Structure 1
Amino acid sequence: MGGSSRPLSPHLRVHEDRGHTVLEFHGEIDILASLDIIPVLDAATGRPAADVVLDLRHIEFFDCSGLRLLHRARRRVLARGGQVHLVCTHPLTLRILRVTELAGVMPPLASMDEALGHPSTASGLRGR
């Protein structure tokens, strides 16, 4: 974001793809990583009516701190009239999303193409 090509956090890469802001999480997402991620996440989710994709395909570990980050991103985007998509393929992370019922409010998609091409799968609708 902001025209910089270097990542602002080693755990989160932000880029644009087909009109969506993609937040690509990397590595171990725990309480220490979340401290680096929050400022970048907040900057990326602070625009009005943003279409945001949370991409968890590149994570190795994900705990309750990661869940809080997902909830924070969703809340911020929806509050500004945007839409959120979640891409996740890791079986253990999918299980965490199901057990905590976050999968019910942010249904995980299996691919970036699915997230970028199907607005009806978004968590939240514009104007709500």
Structure 2
Amino acid sequence: MADKHTRSMPYRTLRTAGGATVVTLQGEIDVLAAPALAARLDVLTAGPCPDLVLDLRPVSFIDCAGLGVLCRVRNRAQARHGRLRLVADSSRFLRILHGTGLSGVFDIHSRWPEDFTGASVADPVSASAG
């Protein structure tokens, strides 16, 4: 009997008073979750000058497919004269970035930037990957 791998990739989109879109990612960012996540982030980086913050603190695991999504969204934001910031405080995640040569590629903050303290939920979404 074949295993059916389905899982929900929950995330919340926030809009701040400063104009940045903040997405809190949770759980595992892997080959199963990457396609749905990439599709959602493509929408968020489709316009001119996207300002996107990905909060990775609740992420428990990320593989090369997840790193690929982060690189893709960074490249899309930069191509549209926007920016991507990551919020990550996991030493494991930072070691992965260092080991893959990506540590200098991303704008990384260890805690929630002060300018996002006034953020409010604007678009709760749950996507399925599988």
TM-score, normalised via structure 2 length? 0.75
Bigger Cα Rg? 2
Runs of at least 4 residues off by over 3 Å: 114-117
What stretches of structure 2 of length at least 5 have no aligned partner?
1-7, 118-130
Q: What is the aligned-residue identity percentage?
A: 40
In the TM superposition, 1:1-128 aligns within 5 A as 10-17=9-16, 18-113=18-113, 116=116
What stretches of structure 1 of length at least 5 have no aligned partner?
1-8, 118-128
Q: How big is each residue's C-alpha offset from its partner over 1:17-66, in whole Å with a ceiling of 9 and x where there is no partner?
A: 23111122110110001122121111011111111112111101111111
**Greater relative contact order (CA < 8 Å, ≥ 6 in sequence):** 2
Q: Which residue of 1 aligns with 2:125?
A: none
Number of residue pairs aligned between Structure 1 and Structure 2: 109
Name the one with the larger strand percent: 2
RMSD (Å) for aligned C-alpha atoms:
1.9
Q: How big is each residue's C-alpha offset from its partner over 1:41-97, in whole Å with a ceiling of 9 and x where there is no partner?
A: 110111111111121111011111111010010000011110111111111111101
